[in-house]
Structures are given as structure tokens and as C-alpha cells.
């Protein structure tokens, strides 16, 4: 028996997952102490419930992938619409340094995957699938490269394998980032605001500093007109992304759709700011971006087929376990130290765990869980979305091609 949820029922299910996650984080001290994001908490409960139903009844479930992709694109568009050139200049040296740290980790991740795959008697390309193709790259990159590996290199089931690895990484990335950052903050006493939350702060007004995604639960004063104008901006981003994805197909500048959505946001924002002197309503962008992030993660975890992960071969689980350990150690001893051994560096380490194992939305959710408790980190929220959603995909694509050529 297969149950397919339409768009409406997928949205209802996602909303229920978020409400359950909020309730669990509020009531369970362990989840609060280790800064587990609400969508991850609720999503794992839902995934476990669906897994139990599958085991008992044999039923399988599917949710609207179009809705999931749509909210993901809105989230990335919100990143672009929030980033004017002055913010990019503000990132400066730290942004470049963080990108170099991540680029080195791509090499480490692929070396671990390929090395362990070879040692366990698997095709080295399977190790690459369990490396940056799926963990840094996420589901989109897993599907795209999986087709290439099946068609051109004879790796059977590469797409299915890639989706399973990417799903594993999405969950693990959301579980290890918060605890790691908390451990760093506690050990080095990096925050003087421990224990403070921001749910009851005064709502953000036009005079308030732009909090970006740092406080998703904080009230933001917006109007219906501002909401409509902001939706028009998102529509422009999505239209541009769809056009460029089709136009660049097969060309040297082919990029994932979400990268075009982010780039469109940057282009539209800065054109309005510097050419037409039109002020963009940041608070409305924040509201839509945060809501889209939460719904995207909820649907992604609803779509988590634990019975497929349970069926992964033991050697592949060994590789993924090693990748998890490597991610935690690298974030703690390399990312944190190189980025300054301060509070911002701890939040950056949490973000690195998010997109180093899963995806940029997971990274942002990790950082939100930390900043909601310990205070803002403007530097981290400036750097991670731009690096994780834009620059690193270009670097990763180039490195994947290099590794494939070395192996064949």
C-alpha cells in the first residue's frame, strides 16, 4: 500500500510537524540543552512514526516534492534578497577564509569516502557518493551526479544510494551542530548571555537592526502591502531561477536552481538599492524566509524513508559514521580555531556541521538554535548562507570532477 500526500496535505503535515517540534523543544530539557532545531525534533518523531507504520503494515509514503522544492527556493531567494553589496564587503577576509576552510574539508571528506570504500572492497566512486557529492552537495547534487555515475561509469543504483546518503547527512547535520557549538561555548566561556532567549523581546521595527535569520521567533512588524511587495520580489527570483536553469542546461555555467534563485535575489536587491534607490522591506523577507526554512525542513524529514536507510549495506554505514566523526572533529579543531576561537567561530562551526553533512537550511537552523539561546552572531549569519548556498557549490562541482578524473 502506498499513500501519496497532495500539496495541501503535505503542507498540513509539515505544519503539524513544526508544532510538535516546538512542543518537544519547550518541554524536553535535553533538546533545549543541546540546541536541537524544532523542525529536526518534530521531523524525526514523524519519520519514526512513519517507519513504524511501514514495518507494521508495509505501507510507504510520499509527500509533495514540488512543495518542498518551492519552499527551498523561497528560502534561498530570501538569503539573496537580504544580502546587499555592503554586507558582502562586510564579510571580507572572514568570508574568503571560511570558504578556504570548507574547500579543504571537501578534499578531506572525499579522501575518507574513497579510502574507506577501497578498503572495504567497494567501488571508489561509491566512496565519492558517500563524500562531498551527497554530504556537501545535498539531495540535488546527489540526484544530478547519481545519473552521471550510472550512465557514464556503470555505478548501479547511484541515484538511490546518493539520496539515502544525503538524507542521512541531513539528519546528522541537524543533530551534531547544536551540541558541538554548545560544548565549545561552554568550554571556552564564549557567551555572557547564556540562558537568555529572545521570544519576549520587543518586535523588530524599521529602526531595529536587521536581525536576518538570527531570531526566527521574534516578532516583526509588517503590513499587507509589504507582504505583497515582498511576494513579488520572490516571484521574480523564482522566475529568473527557472529560466536560467533551463537556459544553462548543458552549458559550462550550469548551476543548481537554488543557486540561481539566490543570485537573482542578490541582483534584484542591489539593483533596487543602488540603481533605483528603492528600499527593500527586510522584515517581510525575514518572515517569509524563516517560515520557508522551517516548512522545507519539516517536509524533508517527513520524506525521510528510514526503511531505506535501515537497508544500507554495513560498509556504507561505516563510511557515513566515519564522515560524521570527521565532520565533528574538523569543525571543532579546524573551523573553530581558524575562524578565531570566539563566539562567532562557535556558531560558524555549528553552521559548518549543518551544510557539511546536510544542507544550508540545516546550517541556518543549527545557528538559529544557538543564537536564540546565547545571543546574536551577525558574522556567522552573513557568511554561512552565502558560502553554503552559493560559493561552495561551485567549488564542490569542480572538485568532484577532479576526483572522478583521478579515479578514471
Residue 246: Cβ within 10 Å count = 9
Residue 204: pLDDT over 50: no
Q: If 0-12 CB within 10 Å is exposed, 13-18 middle and 19+ buried, where does residue 88 land?
A: middle
Residue 226: pLDDT over 90: no
Residue 201: pLDDT over 70: no
Mean pLDDT of all residues in 88-110: 87
Residue 111: pLDDT over 60: yes
Greater pLDDT, 367 or 152: 367
Residue 404: pLDDT over 50: yes
Residue 282: pLDDT over 90: no
**pLDDT range class, residue 199, cuts 50, 70, 90:** very low
Residue 195: pLDDT over 50: no
Give pLDDT tens digits for 37-54.
788 788 888 988 998 998
Residue 198: pLDDT over 70: no
Among 101-105, 295-299, 388-392, 399-403, the least confident range:
388-392
Residue 138: pLDDT over 90: no
pLDDT of residue 170: 81
pLDDT of residue 197: 41
pLDDT of residue 258: 77
Among 102-106, 109-113, 253-257, 351-355, the least confident range:
253-257
Residue 196: pLDDT over 70: no
Whole-prediction pTM: 0.72
Average pLDDT value for the chain: 83
Parallel, antiparallel or unpaired: strands 60-62 and 2-4: parallel
Torsion 146-152-155-156 (CA) sign? positive
pLDDT of residue 140: 64
Give pLDDT tens digits for 160-188.
788 778 878 888 888 899 999 999 999 99
Which H or E element spans position 212? Answer: none
Non-local CB neighbours of 254 within 8 Å, separated by 6+ positions:
248
Non-local CB neighbours of 96 within 8 Å, separated by 6+ positions:
none
CA distance 226 to 270: 18
**pLDDT range class, residue 207, cuts 50, 70, 90:** very low
Are 234 and 284 contacting, i.e. CB atoms less than 8 angstroms apart? no
Show the cell assigned to 70: 518551492
Residue 112: pLDDT over 90: yes
**pLDDT range class, residue 69, cuts 50, 70, 90:** confident
Residue 285: pLDDT over 80: yes
Residue 335: pLDDT over 90: yes
Mean pLDDT of all residues in 364-388: 86
Greater pLDDT, 330 or 245: 330
Residue 149: pLDDT over 70: yes
**pLDDT range class, residue 29, cuts 50, 70, 90:** confident
pLDDT of residue 151: 76
Among 215-219, 274-278, 291-295, 393-397, the least confident range:
215-219
Residue 370: pLDDT over 50: yes
Greater pLDDT, 408 or 13: 13
Q: What's the number of CA atoms in the CB half-sphere (13 Å) around residue 196?
A: 11
Mean pLDDT of all residues in 8-16: 93
CA distance 178 to 381: 15
pLDDT of residue 12: 94
**pLDDT range class, residue 323, cuts 50, 70, 90:** very high
Amino acid at each position: 500500500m502506498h499513500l501519496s500526500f497532495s500539496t495541501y496535505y503535505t503542507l498540513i503535515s509539515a505544519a503539524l510537524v513544526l508544532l510538535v517540534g516546538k512542543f518537544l523543544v519547550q518541554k524536553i530539557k535535553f533538546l533545549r540543552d543541546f540546541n536541537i532545531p524544532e523542525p529536526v525534533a518534530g521531523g524525526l518523531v514523524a519519520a519514526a512514526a512513519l517507519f513504524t507504520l511501514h514495518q507494521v503494515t508495509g505501507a510507504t509514503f510520499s509527500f509533495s516534492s514540488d512543495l518542498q522544492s518551492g519552499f527551498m527556493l523561497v528560502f534561498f531567494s530570501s538569503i539573496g534578497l537580504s544580502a546587499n553589496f555592503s554586507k558582502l564587503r562586510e564579510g571580507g577576509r572572514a568570508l574568503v577564509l571560511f570558504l578556504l576552510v570548507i574547500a579543504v574539508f571537501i578534499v578531506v571528506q572525499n579522501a575518507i569516502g574513497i579510502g574507506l570504500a577501497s578498503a572495504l572492497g567497494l567501488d571508489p566512486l561509491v566512496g565519492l557518493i558517500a563524500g562531498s557529492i551527497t554530504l556537501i552537495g545535498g539531495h540535488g547534487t546527489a540526484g544530478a551526479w547519481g545519473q552521471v555515475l550510472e550512465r557514464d561509469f556503470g555505478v548501479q543504483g547511484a541515484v538511490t544510494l546518493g539520496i539515502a546518503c544525503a538524507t542521512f547527512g541531513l539528519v546528522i547535520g541537524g543533530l551534531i551542530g547544536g551540541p558541538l557549538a554548545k560544548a565549545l561555548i561552554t568550554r571556552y566561556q564564549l557567551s555572557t548571555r547564556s540562558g537568555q532567549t529572545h521570544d519576549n523581546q520587543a518586535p523588530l521595527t524599521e529602526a531595529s537592526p536587521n536581525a536576518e535569520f538570527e531570531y526566527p521567533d521574534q516578532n516583526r512588524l509588517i503590513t499587507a502591502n509589504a507582504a505583497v511587495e515582498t511576494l513579488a520580489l520572490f516571484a521574480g527570483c523564482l522566475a529568473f531561477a527557472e529560466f536560467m536553469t533551463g537556459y544553462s542546461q548543458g552549458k559550462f555555467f550550469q548551476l543548481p536552481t537554488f543557486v540561481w534563485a539566490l543570485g537573482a535575489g542578490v541582483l534584484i536587491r542591489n539593483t533596487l538599492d543602488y540603481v533605483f534607490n528603492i528600499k527593500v522591506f527586510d522584515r517581510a523577507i525575514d518572515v517569509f524566509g524563516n517560515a520557508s526554512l522551517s516548512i522545507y525542513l519539516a517536509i524533508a524529514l517527513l520524506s525521510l524513508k528510514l526503511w531505506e536507510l535501515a537497508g544500507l549495506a554495513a560498509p556504507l554505514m561505516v563510511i557515513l559514521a566515519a564522515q560524521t566523526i570527521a565532520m565533528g572533529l574538523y569543525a571543532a579543531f579546524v573551523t573553530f580555531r581558524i575562524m578565531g576561537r570566539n563566539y562567532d567561530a562557535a556558531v560558524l562551526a555549528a553552521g559548518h556541521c549543518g551544510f557539511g553533512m546536510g544542507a544550508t537550511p540545516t546550517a541556518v537552523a543549527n545557528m538559529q538554535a544557538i543564537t536564540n539561546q546565547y545571543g546574536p552572531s551577525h558574522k556567522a549569519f552573513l557568511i554561512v548562507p552565502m558560502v553554503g548556498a552559493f560559493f561552495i557549490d561551485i567549488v564542490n562541482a569542480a572538485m568532484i570532477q577532479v576526483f572522478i578524473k583521478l579515479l578514471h
